[in-house]
Amino acid sequence: MHDWKEIVRLRLTPLPLEPGRREEVIEELSHQLEDAYKEALSAGASEPEALRRSLAQFNDWENLRKDVFRAVKAEELPVWQQRGILSPRRPWVWATLVLSLALLALSGFRQALTTLSIPMNTGPSQDGFFSTRTLAQIERQAAAQADARALAFVALHHPDINEAARAAEKAIALDSHLTWISARFARAYPLDHDPAPWIARLKAWDPDNAFPYLLEAGAFFEKRTSGAEWSSRSQLELRRMVGTESDISVPMQKAFAAPKYDNYAAQRFELDRAVFKKQGWDRPDLLMFAEASQPVPNLLVTRTYAEYLVKDLGESVEKAGRNEEAAAQYRTVAQFGVRMERASTDIERLIGIAIRQISYKRLLPLLRLQGRTDEAVLLESDVADLNEGIELTRGYRWTERAAGRAASLVLISGVVVLVLAAATLTWLGSVIPLRWKENGSSLLNCFASVASVAPPLLLLASLSLYGAYYPYIRHIDQFESAGQLARDVGPLWDTLAGLRWEALHQGSWPMMLWPTVWCVVVAVIGIIILRWVASGRHDGGLPEE
């Protein structure tokens, strides 16, 4: 004979009712099983079949346990008494939480999480990239330790140009090899800033470098065209201005004649990385944005001056029949293009290519005209190389597209991880007190029951974030140059910064804030109504078979 009460007790435990009421429920349900069993036997079923039919009446004991508790006590079964797959009694739920926390031990995952805190602005003149508080702290430490490199770092990245200049003076006084940081002050903005002393210092320190001369010409051009309607001027007018106004043409002439072109990007990258490492910032994103504020010469002036040399001066020399002199002029321009092309930034490389193309366009027919076929063939080969350089740029754009897709996934996963982390904390905040006092609060119990899905979902979202970011995980030591940094992870971080900027500044967030709040309110009301309707069905509806 079966012990029906024991069968029910085993399946319905724990049932946290008063002991007397619990025993009544167990006894009553055991009678139901026994009656069904006897009826099946009397209908001719075998004993095992009768037992099977009897037990089949309650195919979901966990649900029955919850329903009985809810019916008797008018509240949810305490979360620590639940045995569903998301119950805190299940070790796997805690395992998902531990795994999510374990992911934090991976530097790649931590890097992925920083996607939500990347800076919005990247220029040295903009506030907020490195906080002034952080920079002040670095400066204090650097001054105490006579650390010229850290002072130079402050000079390069302080948003206040006067503070930056003060740090720069200290850094250069400690180590004159750092005079290249003067380039940071060689632009004509802000308007009350005078770049001339800094440019003069840079030229005196590095006279063979084209870069300071280009900065000088650019600074004058920027002051000259500030607020003027220069953008509406024709190419010809611009060429004449750049070629004939001595404040521009003299430094440009020196720049094109200088034996080297060094924009100090390599020194700057090494310095920034050293300070990052000293500060414990393994943040390729911050390093990339720090390098993005690298000063570049005024590219319009540079290109326009190259066009002036080729199209205006070169053509007039050709017309005068001095072909050798014209060819030499074109070659000077092309050689400058080659030097500029070797610079680390893509924009300088592209301008270098453009300058060579401007030069070759005149030089090639001139060489053929002179019958110098061998030289012309060599030059044609150079032109092919230039086209290859442009193709590389196209390849970079393809990388940007792939990175754009990855960026969207990383951003969405990151936001979901944040939301679920908050939900998991809520769950923990409810579950832990209830562990010691199971019937402590029905509100906490409700939170704990609803949020029980958060820990496993947090793990899934974290894995999704990690997976999407995985191809871009790098230590800052893994980059050889700012250029490699920009090529490898630049498209991803640029897109991420752009997505966030668009969301915050182009109306998406403000536009989406109240609709989102509204949706959340509607969802909460909807859940409450659904639960009320469901409880009404339990109360008044005929149960389904």
Partner 1 sequence: MGTALDRELKKGNAELLILALLEEKARHGYEIGKLIEERSEGIVRFHVASLYPLLYRLERRGWLKGEWEPAGGRRRRFYRLTATGRKTLATQRAHWREFSSAMNRIVEVRCA
Q: Which residues bind partner 1 (CB under 8 A)?
A: 24-25, 27-29, 31-32, 35-36, 57-60, 63-64, 67-68, 70-72, 74, 537-545
Percentages helix, strand, coil for the chain (3-state, rounded to 5) are 80, 0, 20
CB of 438 to partner 1, least distance (A): 20
24 vs 208, beta carbon nearer partner 1: 24
Distance of closest approach, residue 56 Cβ to partner 1, in angstroms? 10
Q: For the purposes of burial, counting CB atoms within 10 Å of the CB of 498, is it exposed (0-12), middle (13-18) or buried (19 or more)? A: middle
- CB nearer partner 1, residue 229 or residue 544: 544
| Min separation Cβ 447 and partner 1, Å | 24
For residue 267, the tally of other CB atoms under 10 A from its CB is 16
Nearer to partner 1, 78 or 456 (CB): 78
Shortest Cβ distance from residue 536 to partner 1 (Å)? 8
Rounded CA separation 472/111 (Å) = 9
Q: Which is nearer to partner 1, 45 or 460 (CB)?
A: 45
Closest distance between partner 1 and the C-beta of residue 2, in Å?
A: 14
Secondary structure element (H or E) that encloses residue 237, with its range: helix 235-244
- Dmax over CA atoms of the chain, in Å, equals 124
Distance in angstroms (rounded) separating the CA atoms of residues 238 and 249: 12
The Cα-based distances of 490 to 135, 237, 471, 498 in angstroms read: 24, 37, 13, 12
Is the four-CA dihedral 22, 24, 29, 33 of positive or negative sign?
A: positive
Nearer of residues 55 and 250 to partner 1, judged by Cβ? 55
* 478: Cα within 13 Å, side-chain hemisphere: 12
What is the closest distance, in whole angstroms, from the C-beta atom of residue 404 to partner 1 in the complex? 47
Q: Toward partner 1, which CB reaches closer, 36 or 460?
A: 36
Peptide bond between residue 190 and the one before it cis (omega within 30 degrees of 0): yes
* Contact present, 497 and 120 (Cβ < 8 Å): yes
Name the residue nearer to partner 1 (CB basis): 280 or 543.
543
Radius of gyration in angstroms for the set of CA atoms belonging to the chain, rounded to a whole number:
37
Q: How is 431-450 classified by DSSP, letter by letter?
A: HHHHHH-TTS-HHHHHHHHH
Rounded to the nearest whole angstrom, what is the least distance from the CB of residue 78 to partner 1 in the complex?
Answer: 17
Name the residue nearer to partner 1 (CB basis): 40 or 492. Answer: 40
Give 60 or 192: the residue with its C-beta nearer to partner 1. 60
| C-alpha span between 161 and 156 (Å, rounded) | 9
Residue 209's nearest CA partner among 257, 253, 256, 258 is 258
Residues forming beta bridges with residue 260, ordered by sequence position: 209
Nearest to 122 by CA among 357, 286, 259: 286
Would you give the distance in Å from CA 318 to the centre of its chain?
A: 53
CB of 533 to partner 1, least distance (A): 11
Rounded CA-CA distance 435/439 in Å is 9
Please give the Cα distance from 417 to 494 (Å, whole number). 21
Complex with partner 1: residue 32 or 141, whichever CB lies closer: 32
Min dist. Cβ of residue 57 to partner 1 (A): 4
Q: Which CB atom, from 71 or from 104, has the smaller least distance to partner 1? A: 71
| Amino acid (1-letter code) at residue 92 | W
- Least CB distance to partner 1 at residue 443 (A): 21
- DSSP per position, 182-214: GGGG-S--STT---HHHHHHHHHH-TTBHHHHH
- Residue 403 CB, shortest distance to partner 1, in Å, is 51
| CB-side neighbour CA atoms (13 Å) of 502 | 8
By C-beta, is 229 or 545 nearer to partner 1? 545
Nearest-approach distance from CB 517 to partner 1, in angstroms: 34
